[in-house]
Amino acid sequence: MTNIFKGMKPSRRSFLRGAVASGGALAGGAAFAEGDPAILEKQSWNQYLGDGVDAAPYGVPSKFEARVRRQNVPWLTADPVSSVNFTPLHELDGIITPNGLCFERHHAGVAEIDPAEHRLMINGLVDRPLVFTMEDLMRFPRENHVYFLECAANTGMEWAGSQLNGCQFTHGMIHNVMYTGVPLRLILEEAGVKTAGKWILPEGADASAMTRSIPMEKALDDCLVAFKMNGEALRPEQGYPVRLVVPGWEGNMWIKWLRRIEVGDQPWHHREETSKYTDLLANGQARRFTWEMDAKSVITNPSPQAPLTHGPGRTVLTGVAWSGRGTIPRVDVTIDGGMNWHEARMSGPSFDKSMHRFYYEFDWDGKPMLLQSRAHDSTGYVQPTKDQLRQVRGENSIYHNNGIQTWAVNEEGVAENVEIS
């Protein structure tokens, strides 16, 4: 909040004058308090030498950030090897998810793979079935792209009504990372896809041998065989040494620990695209192959895990938005449950199929609020309300809940997950 003091002497009188001039809305900071030891006294870190350069060969966050961590929901975790934990969205800013905070979803635990022993095989309807080592993959031209990965089940517990109290738990099955990898198109071209080859089946090397059918157009379009995330090797839990990146499409298609890609002439109708990852509608029919993730947004601060800790006055609201179909040119925000909408301020890079960051700064009057955000994507699609979504999809669904989220904030600044209709 240094700009408050710009050109001003930090005396109590001039500070108060400044506050009046800005309409009384003090943007953080307090008038100089005599006797405040934090400003008057020398702290220990002022007086003694700190750790030397080699204290942490691989750096970790400050111990004061220990609360910033992935968390699971115990009643969703019957067994950790087939479970999920959640990204602490309310602790993050900007658009990149740090590697150690990317949510994890495993169907059979984390495979521990020695990259020297790992192979990627291409077989099926190809001219030349091929097997690549990691070193072979590194000799293809690489690309860098920032993409979000959202599990189809993100917000899945909220279909019938508001349930989990925190954006980490309602919306944290998402991460946004810069990937370095080889376009899948180049690898398929190397093997030579036969004319009849219309689908691919990527398979994981973990004990779940996860597979999904992906149409050839997508495989040739923007999929990546990725080995780096945010500049360093993939984390084991994110698929080390190599994973498939399927931009904008549901997370379960992003096969981790990728060991095989079969080319076929039709989809395989495996478990994860029949009994799972389909949406049962009210009329008994199921939506299938719902690959693209619809535009969605959530306010991360304030939110149940990140209440307002200040009284009335200048307040910064922030959140994230994304779309599997393009960019997010606009997010609207309301603090009164949708009576008045305000266009939020977007800040940070706007990449295709990547997370976007928005802010809305306002003077809080200290009264209860109903906070919502509504994303617009570059195709013109507008994020629906939960009621609009339920009218079309019924209430049997788990996957693809992109309805507008509401947080109720009371006079004390405490936030709660609610629904309004």
| Residues 191-210 close enough to bind ligand MTE by CB under 6 A | 204, 206, 208, 210
Q: Kindly report the CA angle at 346 between 379 and 151, in degrees rounded to 5?
A: 60
- Rounded CA gap, 312 and 333, in Å? 19
* 252 lies in the site for Co ion, by CB under 5 A: yes
Judged by phi (left if over 0) then psi (alpha if -120 to 50, else beta), residue 110 lies in beta
Candidate list 251, 302, 326, 384; residue touching Co ion; CB under 5 A: 251
Q: Which is nearer to ligand MTE, 238 or 301 (CB)?
A: 238
Residue 15 interaction partner, one of ligand MTE, Co ion, none, beta carbon < 5-8 Å per kind: none
Residue 331 interaction partner, one of Co ion, ligand MTE, none, beta carbon < 5-8 Å per kind: none
* 107 lies in the site for ligand MTE, by CB under 6 A: yes
Q: How far is the CB of 359 from ligand MTE (least distance, A)?
A: 26
- Are 148 and 251 spatial neighbours (Cβ–Cβ below 8 Å)? no
Residue in 262, 267, 270, 264 with CA at minimum distance from that of residue 244: 262
My answer on whether omega of the bond before 247 falls inside 30° of 0, hence cis, is: no
Q: Which is nearer to ligand MTE, 203 or 377 (CB)?
A: 203
Place of tokens 């506050």: 19
* 103 lies in the site for ligand MTE, by CB under 6 A: yes
- Residue 319 bridge partners (DSSP): 299, 358
Helix (H) or strand (E) holding 406: strand 406-409
Q: Which is nearer to ligand MTE, 208 or 417 (CB)?
A: 208
| Residues 123-162 close enough to bind Co ion by CB under 5 A | 151
Candidate list 257, 291, 364, 399; residue touching ligand MTE; CB under 6 A: 257
**Which range touches Co ion (CB under 5 A), out of 164-172, 247-255, 307-315, 378-386?**
247-255
How are strands ordered across the β-sheet holding 199-204? 130-132, 120-124, 258-264, 199-204, 214-215
Q: Which is nearer to ligand MTE, 99 or 133 (CB)?
A: 99
Q: Considering CB under 6 A, how many residues would be counted as binding ligand MTE? A: 21
- Are 113 and 241 spatial neighbours (Cβ–Cβ below 8 Å)? yes
- Residue 149 bridge partners (DSSP): 175
Residues composing the chain = 421
Residue 279 interaction partner, one of Co ion, ligand MTE, none, beta carbon < 5-8 Å per kind: none
Q: How far is the CB of 227 from ligand MTE (least distance, A)?
A: 14
Q: Kindly report the CA angle at 214 between 210 and 220, in degrees rounded to 5?
A: 125
Question: For residue 408, what are the CA distances in angstroms to 129, 167, 296, 303, 313?
Answer: 57, 13, 19, 8, 18
Residue in 291, 335, 329 with CA at minimum distance from that of residue 316: 335
Residue 294 interaction partner, one of Co ion, ligand MTE, none, beta carbon < 5-8 Å per kind: none
* 297 lies in the site for ligand MTE, by CB under 6 A: no
157 three-state secondary structure: helix
Q: Which is nearer to Co ion, 211 or 252 (CB)?
A: 252
- Rounded CA gap, 172 and 358, in Å? 17
Q: Which is nearer to ligand MTE, 15 or 291 (CB)?
A: 291
Kind of pairing, strands 120-124 and 258-264?
parallel
Candidate list 241, 251, 326, 403; residue touching ligand MTE; CB under 6 A: 251
Residue with the shortest CB distance to ligand MTE: 204
- Residue 126 bridge partners (DSSP): 193
Candidate list 145, 171, 256, 400; residue touching ligand MTE; CB under 6 A: 256
Q: Kindly report the CA angle at 295 between 293 and 300, in degrees rounded to 5?
A: 110
Q: What are the two backbone dihedrals, phi and then psi, of residue 18, each rounded to the nearest 5 degrees? A: -60, -40
Q: Interface mask (CB under 5 A) for Co ion, residues 81-120, using x and -?
A: ------------------------x---------------
Q: Interface mask (CB under 6 A) for ligand MTE, residues 126-165, using x and -?
A: -----------------------x-x--------------
* 172 lies in the site for Co ion, by CB under 5 A: no
Q: Taking the alpha carbons of 71, 383, 391, 303 in that order, is the dihedral positive or negative? A: positive
Q: Which is nearer to ligand MTE, 111 or 335 (CB)?
A: 111
* 102 lies in the site for ligand MTE, by CB under 6 A: yes
* Site of interaction with Co ion (CB under 5 A): 105, 151, 251-252
* Site of interaction with ligand MTE (CB under 6 A): 102-107, 149, 151, 175, 204, 206, 208, 210, 237-238, 251-252, 254-257
